[in-house]
Chain A
Amino acid sequence: MTAHLNPAVAAASHGYRRLLARRVGLLAGIGIALVAAVLLDLSTGSSGMTLGALVDGLLHPQNLAVTDRVIIWNVRLPYALMAVLVGAALSLAGAEMQAILNNPLASPFTLGVSSAAALGASLIIVFPVSSALLSRDSIVALSAFVFACGSMFLLHGMSRLRGAGVETLVLFGIALVFSCNALVALLQLLATEDVLQQLVFWSLGSVARANWDKLSILAVVLALILPFSLHASSRMTLLRMGEDRAQSFGVDVRRLRFFSLLRISLLSATAVAFVGTIGFIGLVGPHIARILIGEDQRFLFPASALVGALLLSLSSVVSKIIMPGVIVPVGIVTALVGVPIFVALVFKRGRQL
């Protein structure tokens, strides 16, 4: 019997290993594309620096003239890395959100988490709170985080209600977007001219407000969260096959959702707090990753992060070249590119149903 079984298992093992190899290969491929996109992003700009000079400047900063050093180390590199980290954070948050809400249209942007974060940030910008311990930027980020968490738990509560289907949740998310936007508009009305400028600037997502402090905080948040996401990924895969199935197989779905919501809030709120509202990366990133990699969340989570980073990197390149001499806020680019993709996804889903 065993002698019979082994060649068959070996064949199954071969098929499975081929699938795994394909997935690892795809992850590596996306990683390489990301490196290329980052180099392209670094070499794009109004100063006309060549790629060779740029790489040389990165490797040997001491050889650079002061202006070039400032351009590379204070502008291009932080912007490019911010695009990578924010893209990864938003897309990972979107992937987790789609898994725990079992809803392919879920993302921090479409379900109002970004809008709630923007409301939190706007409140502090209009009504500043001073603290001896925290800088103003940190308080703005903290407020954005608290509001993002609040909106996530509201969504979580809604998804727990019996009879709340995918449509209800999406509608509730849209309602949240409109409510938050209305409140932000009210704050804009109350704000002085100076504050209004800050609010508008804040609401247009842009990597141009990157600095090394923000980069390190976001990098730490991502580095802390990714292992926990990966740890939960097997249970998430089971959850994708149905909540009842997962629960009867011993997954504590409530706990899984709760901790995932914390991770999503932390990721999306930190990203939004630092660069403002950047839409659609959290929606489109996981979808592209899913098409490439499949539904095994152990691969999907890292793939989503990489695809998100790649998309925002490319958007950052586009934001520099569409209007010569002007860096268009990258949030505008992602929204413009994201809308047609979003519509295409909705139609594709409609056909599947």
Chain B
Amino acid sequence: MSAQGLVISHAQVTYGRRVVIADASLPELQPGTLTALIGPNGAGKSTLLRGLAGLERLQGTVSLQDRQLTTMSVSERARLITYMPQHLPPGLGLSVIESVMAALRVGGSGGDYLEQAYAALQRIGIEHLADRMLNALSGGQRQLVSLGQLIARRPSVMLLDEPTSALDLSYQLRVMECVRDMVRQHQLIAVIVMHDISLAARYADTIAVLRDGRIMGFGAAEDVLTPQLFADVYGVKARVERCSQQTLQVLVDCPV
């Protein structure tokens, strides 16, 4: 049977000489879905993401649309998969539109980059910032621009490493709304490393839990986020309550 999505089977990721992810497998991640990777610090979330992005050594069976990532050329992989690090460096003297065009100019598919970059900004709703300089933007605005760079490249997979860290609440929601809209509209596969479990539960279709480089759970938020999981993975005693159809609330009582 052919797989349209991202298949991760017995993946091993090495950071330097250290094997961080020894053997990770996930059910196929389908186009149009958003998966949150959660887990304690040092669990290997970012390393797994970096392995998928081609930044760390990845072994095992990892395929996208039935094609092995490990044997793909760098340019082909970069066309299909985009990765967003935590921050766009501050203090860069580039205009917003220029920075998105710069992302297209390397490995872009040709055509009018100005038009493509502008369309990406429009999709995120920040076209009014097009001519502003990056060093004059707030952290939240820069993060949206960073997202614009990814969208402009029209990838199949978006890998985001803690995109909402260091953002205020309104930008956290805005960035996540934006990612979810992109995922739905363009049938993308998004894998996002997150620390905020409530935010993950609110936006992710599926949640994958990592600890010590191993997958400890995978599934819908209400199935995965259990008191037992919090005790096992985070070492805390917590309850999970449903506030509305969309939101779960994690109430931490005390360390176990």
Hey, which bits of chain A sit against chain B, CB under 8 A? Answer: 5, 8-9, 12-13, 15-16, 19, 162, 234-235, 237-238, 240-242, 244-252, 290-291, 293-296, 352
Contact = CB atoms under 8 A, between A and B. Distances in A.
Given A5-B119, A241-B88, A235 B106 contact: yes
Nearest to B131: A15
A346 to B, nearest CB: 15
Nearest to B83: A248
B95 A241 contact: no
Interface stretch (B49-57, B166-174, B237-245): B49-57
A9 B111 CA distance: 14
| Interface residues on chain B, size class | 35 or more
B118 A9 contact: yes
A245 B118 contact: no
Nearest to A237: B102
B89 A234 contact: no
A241 B118 contact: no
A8 B115 CA distance: 10
B89 A250 contact: no
B106 A250 contact: yes
Nearest to A245: B85
B127 A12 contact: yes
Contacts of A296: 94, 98, 102
B11 to A, nearest CB: 17
Interface string B67-108: 000000011011101111101111111110111001101110
Interface of B: 16, 50, 53-55, 74-75, 77-79, 81-85, 87-95, 97-99, 102-103, 105-107, 114-115, 118-119, 122, 127, 130-131, 133, 149, 153, 159
Q: At the interface, is chain B mostly helix, strand, loop or mixed?
A: mixed
Contacts of B84: 245
Given A13-B114, A248-B54, A248-B55, A290 B131 contact: no
Contacts of A294: 93-95, 133
Contact of A249 (B97, B106, B118, B119): B106
Contact of A248 (B82, B91, B99, B105): B82
B133 to A, nearest CB: 8
Top 8 closest A-B pairs, CB basis? A250-B78, A248-B83, A294-B93, A15-B131, A250-B107, A295-B93, A12-B118, A234-B105
Contact of B54 (A15, A247, A293): A247
B92 A251 contact: no
B131 A241 contact: no
A9 B105 CA distance: 18
